[in-house]
């Protein structure tokens, strides 16, 4: 089954509810069920984003009585493309990929005439550094939600972020902490929530995505990782008071049966100006102007059962990247066409200067339910007398 992004029920709307709670301006609808919890007022709000934990993966690896599943409130969709760069940047900013322009892992920048892995700042094919500073942040700077939260009329609100050491994460208007293990994440959250300040903490953790890429969505190690994360969050919540814990994901994953090598299909590759980019399951293509009919025909012939091919106008008209004014780079990164996965296959273009790379057992970026549907999990903790009756202006 396929699911298209719903920009009234996705990561952007989680952020809208949080911004509304802190009396910051919002551009997207909020989530009424989350709002109902936030209306009770909590001194601390913690948002934990578990990379890759789609609803399908969670429900097939965890029993119904598991802590995360017991607190699973509703399903949301990811943004599109259903991938880390686009979704995490929507968490940082509270706007859609259409507006922030960070569409996927590998993007072709005409400013550098290079395809760049934007979170690592490396050339996609050679894996050599592009510049000392982030090329993507230079071309596509953005404002984060943290400053608006810090300026809240609630007063004395301190935003924190926590991520794994070495992970690229937005750090503007917040205090950033790093952790090598999830146990350390929980320790940091407890320390933050014990301070006298009102706090908002955003946690970005690379699991279960990192395990599922290697082991598949339903492998034993993936299930073990999910159980571990759930147990850790359960133990954490038992030790917190006056804290609302929100758990969600950026996207889900689907097990991959095959990657189709576009460079081996001459009828397609001869039409391309540069190799496809963005993601293996949501690829943008620049096509020679006089070969567009040939490209469409070849895609129908070789990819038709596993992918849909949308022109730039189709992508914009359908609004699958989100509402609002498109970022100038969004138009560049759509290319002339986007190839969107609707089955369990991906595509790859192998260049002569590319380092060898094994196919991931599971991947994301496409429009299947497994990739697009994510859970919203809300865990209220005990409220003390001091905060239980407090009302906001």
How many Å apart are CA 283 and CA 369, to the nearest integer?
18
- Please tell me the predicted confidence (pLDDT) of residue 389: 47
pLDDT in tens, 353-375: 777 778 899 999 999 999 999 99
d(CA 344, CA 375): 21
Do residues 251 and 90 make contact, with C-beta atoms less than 8 angstroms apart?
no
Cα distance between residue 159 and residue 83, in whole Å: 25
Domain membership of residue 129 (yes or no) is no
Please tell me the predicted confidence (pLDDT) of residue 156. Answer: 79
Q: What is the DSSP letter of 263?
A: G
Cα–Cα distance between 5 and 320 in angstroms, integer? 6
Q: Does one domain contain both 167 and 272?
A: no
- Residue at 133 is within a domain: no
Token pair recorded at residue 66 = 């598991």
Pairwise CA distance, residues 37 & 27, whole Å: 21
Q: Are residues 200 and 241 in the same domain?
A: yes
335 and 188: one domain? no
The reply to whether 150 and 264 lie within a common domain is: no
CA 167 to chain centre: 14
Residues 272 and 329 reside in one and the same domain: yes
In angstroms, the CA 156 to CA 357 distance is 48
For the chain, what percentages of helix, strand and coil (3-state, to nearest 5) are there? 35, 25, 40
**Does 350 map to a domain?**
yes
pLDDT at site 390: 52
pTM of the model: 0.95
DSSP letter (8 states) at residue 262 = G
Q: What is the pLDDT along the chain (393 residues), one digit of tens a residue?
A: 899 999 999 999 999 999 999 999 998 999 999 999 999 999 999 999 999 999 999 999 999 999 999 999 999 999 999 999 999 999 999 999 999 999 999 999 999 999 999 999 999 998 999 988 889 999 999 999 998 898 877 767 899 999 998 887 776 778 899 999 999 999 999 999 999 989 999 999 999 999 999 999 999 999 999 999 999 999 999 999 999 999 999 999 999 999 999 999 999 999 999 999 999 999 999 999 999 999 999 999 999 899 999 999 999 999 999 988 999 999 999 999 999 999 999 999 988 877 777 889 999 999 999 999 999 999 999 998 666 545 554
Measuring CA to CA, which residue among 321, 320, 319, 250 is closest to residue 97? 321
pLDDT in tens, 83-99: 999 999 999 999 999 99
Beta strands in 118-242 (DSSP E): 122-123, 157-164, 175-179, 198-205
Domain that holds residue 322: 257-359
326 and 376 share one domain: no
Number of domains in the chain: 2
Kindly state whether residues 49 and 160 are assigned to the same domain.
Answer: yes
Query: Does 94 fall in a domain?
Result: yes
CA gap 310, 312 in Å, rounded = 7
Q: Are residues 180 and 244 in the same domain?
A: yes
CA distance 80 to 132: 29
Element (H, E) at 19: helix 11-21
How confident is the model at residue 90, as a pLDDT? Answer: 97
Same domain, 379 and 246: yes
Same domain, 47 and 68: yes
Residue 299 lies in a domain: yes
Tokens of 244: 């609302």
Q: Is residue 121 part of a domain?
A: no
User: Any bridge partners for residue 365, and if so which?
Assistant: 82
Angle at 129 between CA 125 and CA 130, to 5 degrees: 90
66 and 180, same domain (yes or no)? yes
The answer to whether residue 202 sits within a structural domain is yes
In a domain, residue 131? The reply is no
Domain of 66, CATH number, reads: 3.40.720.10
What is the SS3 assignment for 2? strand
Based on the domain organization, do 89 and 192 belong to the same domain?
A: yes
Residues 324 and 221: their CA atoms lie apart, in Å, by 41
User: What residue ranges in 238-290 does DSSP mark as E strands?
Assistant: 243-248, 254-255, 258-261, 277-279, 282-285
What CATH number corresponds to the domain at position 350? Answer: 3.30.1360.180
């Amino acid at each position: 089954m396929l699911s298209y992004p719903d920009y009234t029920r996705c990561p952007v709307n989680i952020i809208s509810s949080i911004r509304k709670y802190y009396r910051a301006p919002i551009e997207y609808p909020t989530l009424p069920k989350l709002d109902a919890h936030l209306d009770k007022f909590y001194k601390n709000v913690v948002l934990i984003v578990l990379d890759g934990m789609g609803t399908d993966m969670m429900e097939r690896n965890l029993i119904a009585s598991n802590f995360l599943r017991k607190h699973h409130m509703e399903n949301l969709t990811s943004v599109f493309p259903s991938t880390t760069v686009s979704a995490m940047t929507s968490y940082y900013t509270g706007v859609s990929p259409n507006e922030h322009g960070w569409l996927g892992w590998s993007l072709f920048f005409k400013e550098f005439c290079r395809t760049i892995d934007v979170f690592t700042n490396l050339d996609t094919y050679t894996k050599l550094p592009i510049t000392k500073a982030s090329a993507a942040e230079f071309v596509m700077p953005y404002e984060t939600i943290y400053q608006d939260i810090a300026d809240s009329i609630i007063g004395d609100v301190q935003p924190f972020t926590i991520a794994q050491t070495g992970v690229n994460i937005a750090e503007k208007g917040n205090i950033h902490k790093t952790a090598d293990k999830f146990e350390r994440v929980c320790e940091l959250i407890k320390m933050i929530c014990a301070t006298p300040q009102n706090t908002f903490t955003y946690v970005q953790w690379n699991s279960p995505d990192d395990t599922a890429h290697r082991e598949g969505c339903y492998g034993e190690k993936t299930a073990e990782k999910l159980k571990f994360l759930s147990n850790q969050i359960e133990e954490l919540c038992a030790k917190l008071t006056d804290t609302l814990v929100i758990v969600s994901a950026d996207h889900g994953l689907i097990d991959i049966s095959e990657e189709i090598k576009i460079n081996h299909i001459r009828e397609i590759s001869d039409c391309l100006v540069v190799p496809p980019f963005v993601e293996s399951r949501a690829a943008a293509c620049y096509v020679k102007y006089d070969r567009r009919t040939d490209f469409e025909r070849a895609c129908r012939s070789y990819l038709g059962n596993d992918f849909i091919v949308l022109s730039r106008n189709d992508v914009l008209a359908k609004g699958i990247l989100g509402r609002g004014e498109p970022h100038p780079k969004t138009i560049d990164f759509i290319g002339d066409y986007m190839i969107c996965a609707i089955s369990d296959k991906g595509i790859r273009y192998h260049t002569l200067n590319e380092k060898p790379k094994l196919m991931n057992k599971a991947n994301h970026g496409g429009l299947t339910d497994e990739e697009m549907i994510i859970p919203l999990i809300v865990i209220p903790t005990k409220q003390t007398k001091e905060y239980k009756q407090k009302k906001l202006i």
